Amino acid sequence: MDLRVPGPTPLPPPVREALAAEMINHRGAEFRALLAAVTAGLQHVLQTEGDVLVLTGSGTGAMEAAIVNLISPGDRVLAVTVGAFGDRFAEVAQAFGAEVSTVASPWGRAANALALEDALARTPHVRLVLVTHNETSTGVTNDLRALAEVVGARRGEGGPLLVVDAVSSAGAIPLPVDAWGCDVAITGSQKAWMAPPGVSMLSMSERAWAAAERATCPRYYWDLRKACRAAERHETPWTPAVNALQGLHAALAMMRAEGLEAIYARHRRVAHRMREGAKALGLELFADPAHASNTVTTLRVPEGVDGEMLLRRVRELGVTLAGGQGALKGRIIRVGHMGYVDTADIDRVLQALAAALG
């Protein structure tokens, strides 16, 4: 079965082999070497010299970790949202007592840097700006660099921190965390990282650490100060997902061997093939073509076609795709192409779609 949902993604053979390794002591030298290597690999891909922490939990858990470590109840948060995951990030902040304002774009469209600038100008004392780099629900990649510049212009004493949901972008789409001034970037093992789900990763800038010292949200499991102290000796405060990290380690070795530029180019090539192939089948892109994602392609279900039935037929042909979320259920199909994927995989997706539609 070809797994082409927007995560979890297929596991390369070396990763699967690593997952079946003997269990090791999470308080021993072998684990410490593993975590040190994984952390260095993540810093390399995220292009950051800041701390990168490895958490046991899904990407949503890391979103919660970011919120509870950076705010106090009543703090103002500006959430830039262009889909389900942007909305989720806003919800997490709300759940922990933030005063959340949103800067929303219609689903399928990218975020507007001018709208963010306006909102920041209108809203005093914004502590955090939450941005989704790649919106998995709509297949849109925001222009993070432009959004980051807007936030960066308000840096300095009391200026907002930029917190980026990079769950489905990092490792596939350029994200130079330090160069773009991302204070926190969040990602997940099961996306471009070619590892199984269960581990989320999060970078922290110096300014983010300063905020973590001031924040008063209650926290324990997600207390990043504890994670940081443990990371200094290459450990985690709680028992980590050892075998998922062994898998991630193998995947990071593959990524280093391929090289960042080659990885980005492959994702561009794969996404291009997917979009062009879909158009050739008469399918319409859901996402604004100017901001169509290189990790997830969203396609409108043609008039008169039952979206659920289409997914089922494609699955019978050996390819698993995803449907739409929320209001898009039944209206779009989503093709994941991040991590362990190349154009031949896309050709099989296109063949299955052609057969199912034809």
CA 353 to chain centre: 26
DSSP string, 71-96: --TT-EEEEEESSHHHHHHHHHHHHT
Per CB under 8 A, the segment of 24-32, 38-46, 76-84, 258-266 that binds a second copy is: 24-32
Per CB under 8 A, the segment of 32-40, 112-120, 208-216, 239-247 that binds a second copy is: 239-247
Q: Per rule CB under 8 A, is residue 26 in the interface with a second copy?
A: yes
What is the C-alpha to C-alpha distance for residues 96 and 109, in angstroms, rounded to an integer? 28
**Quick one: DSSP state of residue 212?**
H
Burial class of residue 63, CB neighbours in 10 A (0-12, 13-18, 19+): buried
**Residues from 44 through 73 that contact a second copy (CB under 8 A):** 56-61, 63-64
Q: Per rule CB under 8 A, is residue 320 in the interface with a second copy?
A: yes
Q: Per rule CB under 8 A, is residue 23 in the interface with a second copy?
A: yes
What is the C-alpha to C-alpha distance for residues 162 and 157, in angstroms, rounded to an integer? 14
Q: What Å distances lie between residue 272 and 133, 269, 343, CA to CA?
A: 19, 5, 9
List phi, psi (to 5°) of 56. -90, 110
Q: Per rule CB under 8 A, is residue 324 in the interface with a second copy?
A: no
Among 34, 66, 77, 96, binds a second copy (CB under 8 A): 96
Q: Which two tokens stand for residue 251?
A: 């995947």
Residues that bind a second copy (rule: CB under 8 A) add up to a total of 55
Amino acid at 227: A
Q: Using an 8 Å Cβ cutoff, are 250 and 17 in contact?
A: yes
CA torsion sign, 40 to 44 to 46 to 50? positive
Which residue's entry shows tokens 């991040």? 338
Q: What is the x/- site pattern for a second copy, positions 105-144, by CB under 8 A? A: ----------------------------------------
Among 32, 76, 91, 305, binds a second copy (CB under 8 A): 91
Q: Whole-number minimum distance, CB 61 to a second copy, in Å?
A: 5
Q: Whole-number minimum distance, CB 288 to a second copy, in Å?
A: 25
Among 108, 188, 307, 324, binds a second copy (CB under 8 A): 188
Per CB under 8 A, the segment of 141-149, 201-209, 211-219, 271-279 that binds a second copy is: 211-219
Q: Whole-number minimum distance, CB 96 to a second copy, in Å?
A: 5
SS3 category, 49:
coil
Among 221, 264, 348, 351, binds a second copy (CB under 8 A): 221
Beta strand 332-336 pairing with 76-81? unpaired
Q: Whole-number minimum distance, CB 303 to a second copy, in Å?
A: 25
Q: Which two tokens stand for residue 179?
A: 């160069």
Q: Reply yes or no: is the peptide bond before residue 8 cis, omega within 30 of 0.
A: yes
Among 109, 127, 219, 249, binds a second copy (CB under 8 A): 219
Q: Whole-number minimum distance, CB 5 to a second copy, in Å?
A: 5
In the bound state with a second copy, the residue whose beta carbon lies nearer, of 113 and 333, is 333
Q: Using an 8 Å Cβ cutoff, are 349 and 2 in contact?
A: yes
Amino acid at 334: R
Among 50, 196, 277, 324, binds a second copy (CB under 8 A): 196
The site for a second copy (CB under 8 A) is made up of 1, 3, 5, 7-11, 16-17, 19-28, 56-61, 63-64, 91-92, 95-97, 188, 190, 196-199, 217-221, 237-244, 247, 320, 322
